[in-house]
C-alpha cells in the first residue's frame, strides 16, 4: 500500500481518550499542556473535549466502531509519549470508520458525497 493512501483508509486509534479508571479530564489536560504553555491554548475547549471523550467513544461503539479490549472486556489503552498516562485507545478495525460514520450521518438525514474532485484548492 502506498503511503499517500494510508491516511484515507481510516485510523488506528483515538488519541487523548479519557477512559474512566485510566485517566481523568484534568489529568489529560495537565499531561497535554506543559505549565509554561497553558496560556497559549484554549483550556476550556481542551477540558470540554476531555470531559466528553468517553461519551463520544461509547457513541462510536454504538455505531459499530470496534475498540481493542482486554480479556476482561475493559478498554485496552496505551501510553503515548510524552504523555505518561494511558490515553490512546486502539481501533484494530479503524479502516472501517469512514463507512460507519457515513452510515450514521445518513441515518439522521445528512447528505454525503464521495470522491468529489474540485479544482482551485
Model pLDDT for residues 63-105, shown as the tens digit of each residue: 888 888 889 988 888 776 655 555 778 888 777 888 888 899 9
Residue 57: pLDDT above 80?
yes
Q: What is the pTM of this model?
A: 0.68
Superfamily of domain 3-106: FAD/NAD(P)-binding domain (3.50.50.60)
Residue 48: pLDDT above 70?
yes
- What is the reported pLDDT for 75? 87
> What is the SS3 assignment for 4?
helix
Lookup result for grid cell 510524552 = 82
More confident residue, 1 or 108: 108
Each domain of the chain, given as residue ranges in start order, spans 3-106
**How big is the chain by its Cα radius of gyration, in Å?**
17
- What is the reported pLDDT for 37? 60
- What is the reported pLDDT for 119? 74
- What is the reported pLDDT for 36? 56
Contact 16, 49 (CB under 8 A): yes
Amino acid at each position: 500500500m502506498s503511503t499517500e493512501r494510508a491516511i484515507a483508509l481510516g485510523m488506528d486509534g483515538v488519541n487523548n481518550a479519557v477512559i474512566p479508571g485510566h485517566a481523568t479530564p484534568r489529568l489529560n489536560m495537565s499531561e497535554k499542556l506543559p505549565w509554561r504553555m497553558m496560556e497559549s491554548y484554549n483550556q476550556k475547549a481542551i477540558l470540554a473535549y476531555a470531559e466528553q471523550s468517553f461519551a463520544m467513544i461509547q457513541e462510536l461503539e454504538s455505531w459499530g466502531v470496534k475498540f481493542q479490549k482486554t480479556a476482561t472486556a475493559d478498554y485496552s489503552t496505551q501510553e503515548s509519549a510524552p504523555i505518561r498516562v494511558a490515553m490512546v485507545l486502539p481501533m484494530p478495525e479503524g479502516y472501517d470508520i469512514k463507512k460507519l460514520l457515513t452510515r450514521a450521518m445518513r441515518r439522521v438525514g445528512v447528505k454525503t458525497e464521495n470522491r468529489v474532485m474540485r479544482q482551485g484548492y
